[in-house]
């Protein structure tokens, strides 16, 4: 039986009807036609979960999730010959995917998932009742459904009220929900970051009590939830929840360790709070939606500080080479979380480079140093600009303005050099084939050494012209013993080691 929700206001009821009708119009007549097919076969079908929630919140949704009492093999029988295409990638978990008239849907059999204490994979059992299926879902806001084809709204656990109050509760006891699937604790933090909702106190307490259970969940699933959290509109809320409940100690232990103890004799910036502010300031500079690499770099840029903290005379605190240590720690953590290699490389490189600007002083860098800054940043230069600017969290307005003006000056110099020298290409004026011809050598390690010499020459002196670059190459080769000294006779042609 569907329990009516007495706390829903009349306005909310009207909003509910309108939102569900609009959602169903977008996928009709496919959804209703499919509902008719299931009904004719003696089975139930309902739109469920995220699409219903997002429709009520007037948020866009890409997914169309349906649920049924039909086992997956029976679902295949019902859609066969009707769907334009179907796939069974998730059939072991009761899910069948299909496409009809350009609409993609996923149909999952009523189910409950539970984890064995020593297993990383959920065991799935199928059910026969919609309300019981909703009871086993993660949060009440995701435990609403609309039956098809009749469009009856089903909300047995007060999800609509929770949407109004912007709160996350579990349909039953949170301990039972998190025991069924410990990843739901990460999802609570993720939804806090995505929706800006608060998490009910009993849910927070259960997360705190059961945090170590997250250890049985695969790194890939944890990574996906963490990425969605960090890319949400309110990542600070989600990250704070992870730290406060102890979950972060298991999935991202470097983050809570940033809460360094500060005493009256050795004062320094609160590194944890600073990192969250840097994250927010980096987000404020995004132009084309969430940038996972930039956000991870902003969050992790100072994780090397706890390991490098030293107390100096006079109450000073130092963190020498924390960017180098932090880059190694970042690479290790993101690799363990199974992030793609390019993400690991880019984030760790940004962490390594985030202090480089502070050697610029008030503009003392030579053009050579500016070129090296650009060369070292490579395709990450724009992100490095944003990270460096975000890293200024001082409350001293004069100091903040000075740093901003100084970085403005560096960007102007980079732009000028880019226009004058095609800085983005950053290649020697002589390529590998020309090196072999000029020095009379064959392909091998010596060509690489010569190329690196020419690249350093380009960085130090800019564009010289090919003739001047070739002459410098010959001088280098003579000094290296590859060619006779200029003017000593013979054009040379000895190979490496001659």
405 contacts 357 by C-beta, under 8 angstroms = no
Is the pLDDT score of 187 beyond 90? Answer: yes
Report residue 35's pLDDT band, with 50, 70 and 90 as the boundaries: very high
Report residue 74's pLDDT band, with 50, 70 and 90 as the boundaries: very high
- Please state at what angle helix 183-195 crosses helix 235-245, rounded to 10 degrees: 150
Render 70-119 in DSSP notation, one character per residue: S-HHHHHHHHTTTSSEEE-TTGGGTEEEEEETTEEEEEEESEEEE--TT-
Is the pLDDT score of 26 beyond 90? Answer: no
Report residue 6's pLDDT band, with 50, 70 and 90 as the boundaries: very low
| Residue 138, burial from CB neighbour count under 10 angstroms (0-12, 13-18, 19+) | buried
- Please state at what angle helix 381-390 crosses helix 341-353, rounded to 10 degrees: 50
- Of 241-255, 398-412, 441-455, 475-489, minimum mean pLDDT range: 475-489
The domain spans of the chain are 1-165, 170-252, 279-421, 432-479
2 contacts 131 by C-beta, under 8 angstroms = yes
Report residue 23's pLDDT band, with 50, 70 and 90 as the boundaries: low
Do 1-165 and 170-252 fold alike per CATH?
Answer: no
CA-based Rg of the chain, rounded to a whole angstrom? 30
CA distance 224 to 14: 35
Highest mean pLDDT among 216-220, 263-267, 432-436 belongs to: 216-220
Average of per-residue pLDDT across 301-310: 92
Structure tokens, 54: 């997002």
CA distance 144 to 90: 22
Give pLDDT, residue 439.
Answer: 87
45 contacts 36 by C-beta, under 8 angstroms = no
Is the pLDDT score of 265 beyond 50? Answer: no
Give pLDDT, residue 469.
Answer: 87
CA distance 196 to 165: 11
Is the pLDDT score of 455 beyond 60? Answer: yes
Query: What's the full length of the chain, in residues?
Result: 498
**Higher-pLDDT residue of 1, 198:** 198
Q: How far is CA 10 from the centre of its chain?
A: 40
Structure tokens, 71: 């086992």
Average of per-residue pLDDT across 173-177: 93
Is the pLDDT score of 218 beyond 90? Answer: yes
Give pLDDT, residue 11.
Answer: 56
Structure tokens, 162: 């929770």
Is the pLDDT score of 2 beyond 70? Answer: no
Structure tokens, 331: 């690479």
- Number of other residues whose CB lies within 10 A of the CB of residue 249: 17
Give the CATH architecture of domain 1-165. Answer: 2-Layer Sandwich (3.30)
CA distance 128 to 167: 29
Per-position b or e across 144-166, b if 16+ CB within 10 A of its CB: bbbbbbebebbbbbbbbbbbbee
What letter does residue 217 receive in the DSSP assignment? S
Give pLDDT, residue 257.
Answer: 94
Round the average pLDDT of the chain to a whole number and report it. Answer: 86
Half-sphere exposure of 408 (CA within 13 A, CB side): 6
Give pLDDT, residue 115.
Answer: 57
Is the pLDDT score of 435 beyond 90? Answer: no
Which CATH fold would you assign to the domain 170-252? Hydrophobic Seed Protein (1.10.110)
């Amino acid at each position: 039986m569907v329990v009516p929700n007495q706390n829903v206001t009349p306005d909310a009821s009207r909003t509910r009807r309108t939102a569900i009708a609009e959602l169903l119009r977008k996928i009709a007549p496919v959804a209703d036609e499919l509902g008719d097919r299931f009904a004719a076969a003696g089975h139930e079908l309902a739109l469920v979960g995220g699409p219903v929630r997002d429709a009520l919140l007037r948020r866009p949704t890409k997914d169309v999730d349906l649920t049924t009492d039909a086992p997956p093999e029976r679902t295949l029988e019902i859609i066969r010959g009707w769907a334009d295409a179907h796939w069974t990638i998730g059939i072991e978990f009761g899910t069948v995917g299909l496409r009809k008239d350009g609409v993609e849907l996923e149909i999952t059999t009523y189910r409950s998932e539970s984890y064995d204490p020593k297993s990383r994979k959920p065991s799935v059992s199928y059910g026969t009742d919609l309300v019981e299926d909703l009871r086993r879902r993660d949060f009440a806001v995701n435990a609403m459904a609309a039956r098809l084809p009749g469009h009856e709204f089903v909300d047995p656990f007060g999800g609509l009220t929770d949407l109004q109050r912007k709160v996350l509760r579990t349909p039953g006891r949170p301990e039972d929900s998190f025991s069924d699937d410990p990843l739901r604790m990460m999802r609570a933090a993720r939804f806090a970051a995505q929706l800006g909702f608060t998490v009910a106190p009993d849910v927070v307490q259960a997360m705190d009590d059961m945090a170590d259970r997250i250890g049985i969940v695969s790194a890939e699933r944890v990574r996906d939830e963490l990425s969605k959290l960090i890319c949400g509109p309110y990542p600070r809320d989600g990250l704070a929840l992870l730290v406060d409940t102890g979950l972060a100690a298991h999935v991202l232990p470097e983050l809570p360790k940033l809460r360094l103890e500060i005493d009256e004799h050795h004062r320094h910036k609160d590194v944890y709070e600073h990192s969250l502010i840097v994250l927010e300031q980096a987000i404020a500079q995004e132009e084309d939606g969430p940038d996972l690499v930039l956000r991870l770099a902003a969050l992790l840029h100072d994780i090397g500080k706890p390991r490098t903290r030293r107390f100096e005379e006079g109450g000073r605190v130092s963190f020498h080479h924390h960017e180098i240590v932090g880059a190694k720690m970042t690479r290790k953590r993101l690799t363990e979380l199974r992030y793609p290699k390019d993400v690991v490389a880019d984030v760790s490189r940004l962490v390594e480079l985030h202090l480089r600007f502070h050697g610029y002083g008030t503009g003392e860098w030579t053009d050579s140093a500016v070129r090296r800054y650009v060369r070292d940043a490579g395709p990450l230069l724009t992100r490095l600009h944003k990270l460096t600017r975000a890293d200024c969290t001082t409350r001293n307005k004069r100091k903040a303005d000075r740093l901003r003006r100084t970085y403005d000056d560096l960007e102007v110099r980079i732009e000028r050099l880019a226009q004058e020298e095609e800085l983005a290409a950053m290649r020697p004026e002589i390529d590998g084939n020309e090196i072999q011809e000029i020095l009379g050598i064959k392909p091998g390690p010596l060509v690489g050494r010569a190329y690196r010499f020419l690249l350093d020459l380009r960085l130090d002196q800019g564009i010289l012209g090919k003739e001047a670059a070739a002459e410098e190459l010959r001088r280098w080769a003579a000094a290296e013993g590859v060619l006779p000294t200029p003017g000593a006779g013979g054009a040379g042609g000895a190979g490496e080691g001659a």
